[in-house]
Amino acid sequence: MKVWAKALLLLASVSGVALAQSQTQLSELKLPAFELKGQLTQGSLLLGKTAPGSTVFFNNIELPLSVDGRFVFGVGRDAPLKHQLKVQINNQQLVKELVFAPREYDVQYVTGVAQKYVTPPKDVTERISKDNQRVRKVRETVSGLVYIFATPIMPANGRISGVYGSQRVFNGEPRNPHYGLDIAAPTGAKVIAPFSGKVLLAEDLYFSGLTLIVDHGFGISSTFMHLSKFDVAVGDTVQQGQKIAEVGASGRVTGPHLDWRINWQQERLDPALLPGLIIP
């Protein structure tokens, strides 16, 4: 990949934020070099590469490393702005402080909403709890698949009708923020795989309707919500660009659209910030 063809740099510049360290010091101490690809801002996924055989920690959490030295991590919507990345090899280590930029999110205040639309009825709360547990369990998957390091493509064609981080306050009660990228499209429009991967879940859930979760490797998964049809099943391997489902209006929605989400295990990330993604 061209991005890795550039020499491994200790000076990694991401969205204008420089990770500075003397190249002379690198040579003298034989410290592990690394580079990052992505934006240092809340909700972002970062792709990294360092010397094969290194050990990489993000906030003291060891990250899986591919045989050629690639790794991935991300921070959520309201994550702290200061984090630490540590790379170790040959009894030497490099510790860099990463400073992320804050984001502002669209918050809408709506009053006069009937309570039944604010709080789900009691007879479905047990189902909602089971749905959440099931999804959480699936997102614990950390496989050795390396598909996440490819350049992503949009999973559907259509107008962007909802963005990551937005939130509504109904009758003074804050609702959960929106953690996906909404793509408005008619029922039956095709949904394609933004990366290759393996299908982990294909079920009908209360809030998200027909829901598909695909593993792309290293703890990163895509979730596709409110579908009208599955074209794949759990256990299937899908190729980037393959049709995997159709847009719908299942679950609790007001109209047909695709809600596409990206997770680093339980950390909800912004699909629009995926390195290399082109949004029409």
d(CA 155, CA 118) in angstroms, rounded, equals 30
Judge if 66 and 195 occupy the same domain: no
The mean pLDDT value for 90-94 works out to 87
pLDDT for 252 equals 85
Do 78 and 23 lie in one domain? The reply is: yes
Closest CA to 219 of 152, 138, 108: 138
Q: Tokens 């360092």 identify what position?
A: 50
The reply to whether 85 falls in a domain is yes
User: Among 99, 114, 131, which residue terminates a domain?
Assistant: 99
Predicted local confidence at residue 34, as pLDDT: 83
- Pair 135, 220 in one domain: yes
The confidence band for 160, taking pLDDT boundaries of 50, 70 and 90, is very high
Whether 146 and 90 share a structural domain: no
What are the φ and ψ backbone dihedral angles of 130, each rounded to 5 degrees? -65, -40
Q: Do 139 and 244 sit in the same domain of this protein?
A: yes
User: Which amino acid, one-letter code, is at 193?
Assistant: A
Domain encompassing residue 13: 2-99
Give the C-alpha separation, 235 to 156, whole Å: 22
Q: Kindly state whether residues 62 and 130 are assigned to the same domain.
A: no
pLDDT on residue 115:
60
Q: What is the pTM of this model?
A: 0.85
- Mean model confidence pLDDT for the chain: 87
Q: What is the pLDDT of residue 226?
A: 97
Number of domains the chain contains: 2
**CATH number of domain containing 52:** 2.60.40
With cut-offs at 50, 70 and 90, classify the pLDDT of residue 122. Answer: confident
Pairwise CA distance, residues 193 & 200, whole Å = 13
pLDDT at 233: 98
Same domain, 143 and 11: no
82 plus 18 within the same structural domain: yes
